[in-house]
Amino acid sequence: MLRHLTHLVRGLADRIPHRVGPASRDRVCRPTVATIVIQDEVQGLPVAWLEYEEEGPEIGSRVGREIRMNAPDFTADEVCSWERLRQRIRGIAWAHYQGTVTGLLQ
């Protein structure tokens, strides 16, 4: 599961736009939070986004930014990783639900 999660987060980080020009050499981007949507009735899936902080001389301070991937942005490998994560997380949720329901009925 960790391999698939890492694959998706790396895919998001690779999509952070690269700045050009002399000031871009001192630019630093730090990923902060990744969100991978597993189940949503409204959005077309898969969906994921990465929040990151950008810092550089042209900015003057840290600025929070976000890079987003919607279904058409995922590569075939990323869709495969997303599907495996989805199956695993839904399995965990189902097992937890069954344990809760079984515990209530006893």
% residues pLDDT > 90 (the chain): 52
Q: Taking 60 as the threshold, does the pLDDT of residue 85 lie above it?
A: yes
Each residue's pLDDT tens digit, 42-65: 877 999 999 999 987 776 788 899
Say whether pTM exceeds 0.75.
yes
DSSP secondary structure, the chain, as one string: -HHHHHHHHHHHHHTSPPP-SGGGGG-EEEEEEEEEE---SSSPSPEEEEEEEEE-TTTSS-EEEEEEE-GGG--HHHHHHHHHHHHHHHHHHHHHHHHHHHHHH-
